[in-house]
Amino acid sequence: MATAEAAGVGGGAAAVAAATLLTAVLLAAVFRYQRRRRGAAVRVVPAPVVPDREGSAAVDGLTDVIIVGAGVAGSALAYTLGKDGRRVHVIERDLTEPDRIVGELLQPGGYLKLIELGLQDCVDEIDAQRILGYALFKDGKDTRLPYPLEKFDKDVAGRSFHNGRFIQRMREKCATLPNIQLEQGTVTTLLEENGTVKGVQYKNKSGEELKAYAPLTIVCDGCFSNLRRALCSPTVDVPSCFVGLVLENCKLPHPNHGHVVLANPSPILFYPISSTEVRCLVDVPGQKVPSIASGEMAKYLKTMVAPQIPPEIYDSFVAAIEKGSIRTMPNKSMPAAPHPTPGALLMGDAFNMRHPLTGGGMTVALSDIVVLRNLLKPLRNLHDASSLCKYLESFYTLRKPVASTINTLAGALYKVFSASASPDKARDEMRQACFDYLSLGGVCSDGPISLLSGLNPRPMTLVAHFFAVAIFGVGRLMLPLPSPKRMWIGARLISGACGIIFPIIKAEGVRQMFFPATVPAYYRAPPEAEF
């Protein structure tokens, strides 16, 4: 009996042990399957193609965000969101290295944003040049305007480079993250359902029509965007065109500085883009430029522009004209005027542009990405389109102080520096006053240059210095003795200053620019369901 009981107990123990072992094996198999499944969810390359409801091909990805465009804004945004664990599908029209004559100067404020996003190494290994300030030239005189960098780490400065090399470095950085899919394709339309953007329709590199879906689509397809009209009310102004040249083995009067020549009818820019090349951008007012093919452009540059540039640059400038590699680019300005749309957002030059005279475009884009990243971080998922849209309205307010300051400065400086904007004597006095004010140094140059560099983009500082220049100009007119004619020019100078800056501020939005804390969206919290 005892033996039978012992056998029964031993058999029960063996059964329990066997069951325990079997359970452990099953649990291990389940955990391994779940790990594989999670890994598959992160790897969106390549995304599977399945028939959609209409029978056409559709990309059925486990994607959180679709980004249209992989330029500076699109690539930086993709890496930022990918680093935060988002599954990102980037669709770019052409993944070969871009060749552009703009987007080549990153201000120190933009470089600080690059550091904040973990992308500062993208200016390494591309022969980028450190930029420490500006040199301003007028009527044979020049003044050096250094960036106020004393309070920053020694690595902080501006950077100038070939735009394409910079973009390719950022794309390579994106490719290091397994949850980012970079695909070459042309997005033709946004896919909407009941007013909510669900994704995009595009043609891939093979010409195949595909559809991609995600809870959030961010359009970053640049200044020539064909999608922005669905998401904003664009008012695009083209005040001028840049004519671009590359000067080889040219020694600038002030090394590691951008050079601005206050020429007639409008400014000329010079800055290094590699250790052996200097970019020259000649501003030509209006939307039409002399023909390159007929030789009219070369003649214009030799006869009208060359006599006005510093003598140290003259020979290299003429040699670049004779080499014949002349290119043009329209200068566009467009205030941000978004239509908050569930499931979609605009970024970069597709959303907001300013005259490129001050090189502030990349600084604005990178600053916007920091704002958006901070807004999206608390959200675990993005599928509640209406709540997300309402929450992201705060993005348009939070970005304004920085973006509007840089935008307004670019527009105002171009109008002041451009003699073609007005033949008025008062405008000439404003131009001279600006040069003399900046030449004073100290706070008179540090303040405006800190605005231009993006190191201190405060709207009130901008307005204060702008009218300080105007008042300084009136003071010059009153010396040694005022006269009715001088007083009249002074009054027109103040009136002209108001006519320059106030319309730009109005277009940017007075309340959002100067009093963002009074806008209800400023305090908007993430949807409660996300906590």
Task: Tell me, yes or no, whether 135 lies in a domain.
Answer: no
- The answer to whether residues 109 and 18 belong to one domain is no
The model's pLDDT over 211-239, given as tens digits with 9 standing for 90+, comes to: 999 999 999 999 999 999 999 999 999 99
The three-state secondary structure class of 133 is: strand
What span, in angstroms and rounded, lies between the C-alpha atoms of 402 and 450? Answer: 12
And the tokens for 31?
């955990």
Q: Alpha-carbon Rg of the chain, whole angstroms? A: 29
Domain's final residue, options 333, 355, 383: 333
And the tokens for 370?
């920091």
What span, in angstroms and rounded, lies between the C-alpha atoms of 296 and 74? Answer: 37
And the tokens for 7?
């056998």
Query: In terms of Cα–Cα distance, which of 366, 338, 341 is closest to 350?
Result: 338
- The answer to whether residues 449 and 504 belong to one domain is yes
H-state helical runs in 195-330: 296-300, 311-323
- The answer to whether residues 273 and 394 belong to one domain is no
And the tokens for 419?
């003699």
The model's pLDDT over 432-453, given as tens digits with 9 standing for 90+, comes to: 999 999 999 999 999 999 999 9
Name the phi and psi angles at 356, rounded to 5: -75, 10
- The answer to whether residues 362 and 219 belong to one domain is yes
Residue type, position 440, single letter = L
Q: How do beta strands 344-346 and 216-219 pair?
A: parallel
Place of tokens 């400086």: 413
What span, in angstroms and rounded, lies between the C-alpha atoms of 174 and 77? Answer: 10
What span, in angstroms and rounded, lies between the C-alpha atoms of 137 and 438? Answer: 11
What span, in angstroms and rounded, lies between the C-alpha atoms of 342 and 383? Answer: 10
| CB within 8 Å of 56: residues ≥ 6 apart | 209, 211
How high is the pLDDT of residue 42? Answer: 28
Question: Residue 113 in contact with residue 369, Cβ under 8 Å?
Answer: yes
Burial of 15: CB neighbours in 10 Å, binned 0-12, 13-18, 19+: exposed
Task: Tell me, yes or no, whether 143 lies in a domain.
Answer: no
Task: Tell me, yes or no, whether 432 lies in a domain.
Answer: yes
- The answer to whether residues 347 and 444 belong to one domain is no
Task: Tell me, yes or no, whether 151 lies in a domain.
Answer: no
Residue 18 belongs to domain spanning: 2-41+405-516
Question: Residue 138 in contact with residue 268, Cβ under 8 Å?
Answer: no
Place of tokens 């909407």: 192
- The answer to whether residues 77 and 200 belong to one domain is yes
- The answer to whether residues 73 and 171 belong to one domain is yes
Residue-by-residue pLDDT tens, the chain, 531 positions: 444 434 443 444 444 344 444 444 444 443 343 333 333 332 333 444 444 444 444 455 589 999 999 999 999 999 999 999 999 999 999 999 999 999 999 999 999 999 999 999 999 999 999 999 999 999 999 999 999 999 999 999 999 999 999 999 999 999 999 999 999 999 999 999 999 999 999 999 999 999 999 999 999 999 999 999 999 999 999 999 999 999 998 999 999 999 999 999 999 999 999 999 999 999 999 999 999 999 999 999 999 999 999 999 999 999 999 998 999 999 999 999 999 999 999 999 999 999 999 999 999 999 999 999 999 999 988 999 999 999 999 999 999 999 999 999 999 999 999 976 556 788 899 999 999 999 999 999 999 999 999 999 999 999 999 999 999 999 999 988 889 999 999 999 999 999 999 999 999 999 999 999 898 888 888 886 543
The three-state secondary structure class of 361 is: helix
Question: Residue 329 in contact with residue 100, Cβ under 8 Å?
Answer: yes
Sign of CA dihedral 104, 263, 284, 253: negative
Q: How do beta strands 180-193 and 88-92 pair?
A: parallel
Task: Tell me, yes or no, whether 485 lies in a domain.
Answer: yes
Neighbours of 493 (CB within 10 A): 25
Question: Residue 160 in contact with residue 271, Cβ under 8 Å?
Answer: yes
And the tokens for 1?
């009996």
Task: Tell me, yes or no, whether 48 lies in a domain.
Answer: no
Number of domains in the chain: 3
Domain's final residue, options 358, 381, 398: 398
Kindly write down the DSSP assignment for every residue of 363-399, as one continuous string: HHHHHHHHHHHHHHTT-S----HHHHHHHHHHHHHHT
Residue type, position 453, single letter = S
- The answer to whether residues 229 and 368 belong to one domain is yes
Task: Tell me, yes or no, whether 375 lies in a domain.
Answer: yes
- The answer to whether residues 186 and 81 belong to one domain is yes
And the tokens for 283?
């501003």
Residue type, position 250, single letter = C
Q: At what angle do helices 459-477 and 400-417 cross, to 10 degrees?
A: 20
- The answer to whether residues 422 and 351 belong to one domain is no
DSSP state, residue 98: P
How high is the pLDDT of residue 423? Answer: 64
What span, in angstroms and rounded, lies between the C-alpha atoms of 174 and 95? Answer: 12
Edge to edge, the sheet with strand 57-59 lists 49-51, 57-59, 209-213, 196-204, 180-193, 88-92, 65-68, 216-219, 344-346
Cα–Cα–Cα angle for 383, 385, 390, nearest 5°?
130
What span, in angstroms and rounded, lies between the C-alpha atoms of 62 and 146? Answer: 49
- The answer to whether residues 283 and 383 belong to one domain is no
Cα–Cα–Cα angle for 260, 280, 413, nearest 5°?
35
H-state helical runs in 118-185: 163-175
What span, in angstroms and rounded, lies between the C-alpha atoms of 462 and 457? Answer: 8
- The answer to whether residues 109 and 19 belong to one domain is no
Task: Tell me, yes or no, whether 190 lies in a domain.
Answer: yes
Domain's final residue, options 318, 333, 348: 333
CATH of the domain at 102: 3.50.50.60
Name the phi and psi angles at 162, rounded to 5: -75, 125
Predicted TM-score (pTM) of this structure: 0.86
